[in-house]
Each structure stands twice: as structure tokens, then as C-alpha cells.
Amino acid sequence: MEKFKIEEHNHSLQKEHQRRFEFIASEVSNTEAIIQNLMNFQVAIPSWALGTGGTRFGRFPGGGEPRNLEEKIEDIGMLHVLNNSSGAISLHIPWDIPENASHIKALAAQHGLKFDAMNSNTFQDQPGQELSYKYGSLQNVNKAVRKQAIDHNIEVIKYGIELGSESLTVWLSDGSCFPGQLNFRKAFQNMLESLEEIYAALPNDWKMFLEYKAFEPNFYSTTVGDWGQSFNFVNKLGPKAFTLVDLGHHLPNANIEQIVSLLLMEGKLGGFHFNDSKYGDDDLTVGSIKPYQLFLIFNELVEGMDAKGMNHANGIGWMIDASHNVKDPLEDLLQSVEAIMITYAQALLVDRTKLQEAQNNNDVVTAQEILQQAFRTDTRALVAEARLRSGAALNPLTIFRNEKVREGLIKQRGLKTFATGL
């Protein structure tokens, strides 16, 4: 997207924006600090979210999907031009093997993108793969399968080093579908030993994120099934290992805000996957179903990071992990990033001194008032102002549609393209 188009777009919305911004600026005391925080905050986009997601029943591609890693980088670069908040890409190996790392690194740099966490994949068998992961990977009862899965993770680290990434995310589908299938303790031990070998291959300045998930594709037990299990593993592994929270990976009604608070307290929250869900790992647009829950989680993230003196922008690896069947994936990502920024801004509005006072007085009513005061504040003009100041678009979604970006991509790439991913 050319700069002048963004300028034109901003110009056409400027008057209305100014009115809204002045109003919120007069309501909020720390406007400038909030805008600075918003300008710094970056959320990584996963390379598998750029195509239409499928379900086990079907997939309905929308056209113009990126055909290779270069085009995925271009798509994310475009998002970043529009919102200045998606300045990183997260790769899944082997869906996106960087054949020519220096070329890929240079292309990403041209678009102002960094390489966020590298994701390994031992939940699928790949063509030509010697041993199958049907009964698990890092926990498999067969040592040779475990070794193959360990080697794959080490290979992913190598790709990441070439690209300048600094973290590895391990998500495993390992577990069991039926009672009796696994000995839980042996599965745990095998998993731990395998993770230790991967951990030993991490460069000094790297982090390893261990993502938990309650169920699916295994439906009886998951070997890294909840935050307690992940926490147990990462504690045993050492200081470079952290838990990763994916919002969709809990059992219904779990108190995710309490989980992130305690993980932060222990210094073990390393990675974060944003999405939303109604039932399970639905991978829906961030903030589309339970915006208040998202706010409560962000509130604990901000509170917990501040308590530890962590940098909001890079203290945790932020990523969107969403993909579904019905929306244009790029529009969906713009909506997700917007929801994240709006909610982050709301969390920054919470009057922490007053909240603490209310807590100390057991003033439950005031505590609720303070949180909801922030949640009910319309922070959209603050987010737009942060974009305006960094040269991005006042309304990314509107300009995306007005400039017919998807139509252009379909012309260029074709209607029947297929992006790698789930």
C-alpha cells in the first residue's frame, strides 16, 4: 500500500478522529504514556493464519491466498503498514521452510518484520517421514520416534538461528484417546527427557515456550494438558523454559486471568497466543466472543508485568493464533490486532492505586467499579492516534476494503491458491 493512499485516507477521517481523540484525551490523565505504550506494542502474526482455515469437515478458500513464504511475508508487511502493530512473523516448520534464509530475512527486514518464535510440528506426519507420530512424538513409547521428534525440534532451532529468531514454541498433541492407552508417569518422564535434549540445544539467548492444551486431537489425556503440567516441565527444564498460554486451550470457564497472574509471579509466563472461543480451541477472532474476559486477562498481564518491571512490548512473546472458515484472513487479523490494542489500552487505564486501596478495604463494589470503568471506556481513538503518529492508517479495515486489497491479491495470485497451514 503506497504511503500517499494512507495519507489520503487519514486526511479524509482526520476531522472526525480529532473530535473523538480530544474527548478521550480530556477524560484520561495519562494519554501520552498510553499512546507511547500502544506505539511500542507488537503482535506477531503466524504464517498459518494467512490462508483460510479449515475444519475437519471442509475448507472454503477465499482466493488470493499467499502461495509461498515470500507472499506470506508480503501479506504481513501490508498489515503492518496499515496498523504498525504487527511487526513480526512466526513460522511453523515444515509448513514454511525458509529455503534461502538470508533472502527471507532480508525480505522480512524490508517490510520491518522480525522473526518471532519458531514453531515445531510433530503433530502431523510429513511425506517421506520415517516413523509415525500416530501414538505421540516426544512422549512416544518408542525411543526412535522420540529421537526423530527431538531432531526435528533441533532442526527448527537451526532455521530460527539463521533468521534471527530467539525462541522455540513447542506445542504437542501427545496424549491418549482412551483410558489405559498410556502410563501417565512414563509418558511424563519420556516427555521430560525429550524436552531436556531440545533444551540443551537452545542457544544461550533463546527461550523455549511450552504450550499446553486441554484436549484435541487426543480426547482422554494430554501430556502437557494444563498450565500446571507445563509449569512443572518448564521448572524442571531451567531458566530458559517458559509456559505459553493460548487463550483457547482451557477447559470451559477456566479462570485464565488467575493463571497468567500466577505464572507471571513465578517468572514463567513466556509466550501468549491470542484468539477467542465459545467452546474449545475455536481459534476465532480475538475479542469477538468474550471481550470482558480478554480485558480481565490483559489487566492481570499489565499488573503482573509492572510488578516485575517487565517491558510490555517484548517481555512476553505475543502472537495471534487464530484461523477459521468464514472471514477474509487478512481482515480477520486486522480485527484481532485492533481488539488487542483496544483492550491493552483499557488495561492501561485501570487506576491501580485506587484498586489496591479498595482491595485492602475489602470494598468489593468499588473494586468492580474501577475495573468496569476502564472496560467501558471507548479507547478506539487512542489506538487510532497511536497509528496516526506512526504513519499507519486511522482505520485499517476501511482502507483495506476501499483500496480493494483482496481483489488485487486475487488478480495477482489467482482465485484457487492454497496457503500452507492447517
211 binds ligand RM4 (CB under 6 A): yes
The distance of closest approach from Cβ of residue 170 to Mn ion in the complex, given in angstroms and rounded to an integer, is 11
The distance of closest approach from Cβ of residue 136 to Mn ion in the complex, given in angstroms and rounded to an integer, is 18
The C-alpha atoms of residue 213 and residue 421 are separated, in whole angstroms, by 19
Q: Are 169 and 123 in contact (CB under 8 A)?
A: no
User: Is the CB of 48 or the CB of 295 nearer to ligand RM4?
Assistant: 48
- Closest residue to ligand RM4, based on beta-carbon distance: 171
Q: Which of 226, 281, 328, 331 binds ligand RM4 (CB under 6 A)?
A: 281
Residues in region 152-171 near ligand RM4 by CB under 6 A:
171
Q: What is the dihedral of CA 46, 47, 49, 54, to 10 degrees?
A: -130
Q: What angle do CA 111, 50, 408 make, to 5 degrees?
A: 70
User: Is the CB of 95 or the CB of 400 nearer to ligand RM4?
Assistant: 95
Site string for Mn ion, 258-287 (x = CB under 5 A): ---------------x-------x------
Residue 422: name its binding partner from Mn ion, ligand RM4, none (Cβ under 5 to 8 Å by kind): ligand RM4
The distance of closest approach from Cβ of residue 323 to Mn ion in the complex, given in angstroms and rounded to an integer, is 9
Q: Which of 47, 84, 119, 190 binds ligand RM4 (CB under 6 A)?
A: 119
The C-alpha atoms of residue 27 and residue 376 are separated, in whole angstroms, by 13
Site string for Mn ion, 175-214 (x = CB under 5 A): ----------------------------------------
The C-alpha atoms of residue 378 and residue 381 are separated, in whole angstroms, by 8
Q: Which residues contact 322 (CB under 8 A, 6 or more apart)?
A: 49, 53, 274, 275, 276, 283, 284, 285, 286, 332, 333, 336
**DSSP assignments along 97-124, one per residue:** --SSHHHHHHHHHHTT-EEEEEE---SS
Site string for ligand RM4, 44-73 (x = CB under 6 A): ----x-------------------------
CA 7 to chain centre: 29
Q: Indicate the residue type of 21.
A: F
User: Is the CB of 117 or the CB of 264 nearer to ligand RM4?
Assistant: 117
The C-alpha atoms of residue 272 and residue 283 are separated, in whole angstroms, by 13
User: Is the CB of 114 or the CB of 273 nearer to ligand RM4?
Assistant: 273
Site size for ligand RM4 (CB under 6 A) = 10
Is residue 34 classed as helix, strand or coil in its secondary structure? Answer: helix
CB atoms under 10 Å from CB of 303, counted, come to 18
282 binds ligand RM4 (CB under 6 A): no
In the complex, the residues that contact ligand RM4 under the rule CB under 6 A are 48, 119, 171, 211, 213, 246, 273, 281, 321, 422
Q: Which residues bind Mn ion (CB under 5 A)?
A: 246, 273, 281, 321
